[in-house]
Amino acid sequence: MARIRVTAAIAFAALAVSILSIPARAEPRASLDDTAKFIAGMQPSDGSPLKAYTNDGFWKQYAAGFNQAWDGLEKRQLSKIRMLVSRDFKNPQPTLFYFFSGADYLYADAFFPSAKTYVMAGLEPPGQIPDLRKYSRGEMAGALRELRASLSSLLSYSFFRTRSMRIDFGSAKLNGTTPVLMTFLARSGKTIYDAELFDLASDGTLHSVDEKIAKPTGRGVKITFGDASIGAKRTLYYFSTDLSDGGLKSSGFLTFCDTLGKGDSFVKSASYLMHEDNFSTVRTYLLDHSVSLLEDDSGIPIRYFAKGWQLHPYGRYAGPISLFAGKYQARLNEVFAKDKTTPIDFSLGYRWRPAESNVLLAVKDETAVAFNETIPPVVKTSASGNSRLKAETAADRPAKRRYRYRKQKSVDNSFFPMLFGP
């Protein structure tokens, strides 16, 4: 009897060891498209492992708040922009260059909905491709709250707050620009097929981060997506890279852009960096490689649009906000004269009220007369009272003071009340 008991005990122990040695079965990973929908406050597919979480109170509250904010944004901004685009933007190019963009795919899609390739760039890191399996329900609720907070200024005012972006995107559980890009793709009706993090080499080639290349000059994410309006798959590249002259000198970023040929360009809420001498490379690149260039006044100064550009002003140039008071352009004020501009009923850039917002569509046309040949020179009175003609005011000249890109001025949330909620 004792022998039977010993044998049984040994068998039980062996069974226990064999059970413990079986690897734990991980919860299946949700598809990228379902992940994007879930963090955008939209229902994932019925078979998704994320479907069960949509019955939880934290997600229902998150989705309801997101839906409300999105509906307001659609009525206040996006529908009006789409109407303008369908009416006036007649020759869209397959490629869009959107430098100084951060994670703002939202307005890239609104103004350039038919682009097949989007090239976006900013200092913010791409972060990680979201995998929600690793979070408890409490952690997931916290991650969504963080994401909502990081999106609040763009959903309310059309721009990210540069200073807080580095905190929001760097320390959040859903960190970097990748989750934000996925959120905006989902909300814009896109289907996400693939996403891959890459390293940028100095020769302009892209390499999977798994290759671990020596001395990468930048990092980014490539997202493949599609929608019902364009049958073919489309591509979004986001590069985390320094766009100053020094940063571009060895990064390989513009070498990569060269492989795409010419395209349309978009500049918005760019901290007036291309007004500075140490951003001359990227400024020249956009002027040389753009079939059309759409920008607010924080983009390329008007003095650089010489002969060969048709200028179409929209809205009102009210001058920069006080944070950038030294960037006033007297010539741009002339371009936006009341009899020359087309009114807009949406806001764009740092002037977040529609009655104060401006956007300039510059279209390459070699036969176009330079704007400064059609606008009278500015009259400036000297201290002695003698008047003399000036081709440009002191405010239009390149500023002698330079800003380092990583210490650039930025817009803080203290300027505006938040509309999206805490």
Predicted TM-score of the model (pTM): 0.81
* In the chain, where the domains are located: 28-415
* The pLDDT value given to residue 364: 95
Nearest partner of 132 among 118, 124, 142, judged by Cα: 142
Integer Cα distance of 26 and 42 in angstroms: 24
* The pLDDT value given to residue 155: 59
Structure tokens at 57: 């109170």
Enumerate long-range contacts of 225-229, CB under 8 Å, 24 or more apart.
225/185, 225/190, 225/191, 225/192, 225/193, 226/190, 226/191, 226/193, 227/188, 227/189, 227/190, 227/191, 228/189, 229/113, 229/114
In sequence order, what are the beta bridge partners of 292? Answer: 264, 363
With a cut of 70, list the residues of the chain below it in pLDDT: 1-28, 153-172, 370-422
* The pLDDT value given to residue 223: 98
Q: What are the residue ranges of helices labelled H in 172-279? A: 178-187, 245-251, 253-258
Integer Cα distance of 281 and 255 in angstroms: 12
* The pLDDT value given to residue 148: 82
Tracing tokens 């960037």 back to the chain, one arrives at 327
* The pLDDT value given to residue 416: 28
* The pLDDT value given to residue 191: 97
Integer Cα distance of 18 and 258 in angstroms: 58
Helices (H) and strands (E) in the chain, counts: 12, 12
* The pLDDT value given to residue 338: 83
**Measured between alpha carbons, how far is residue 365 from residues 84, 112, 292, 305, 368 in Å?**
21, 20, 9, 11, 5
Integer Cα distance of 295 and 271 in angstroms: 12
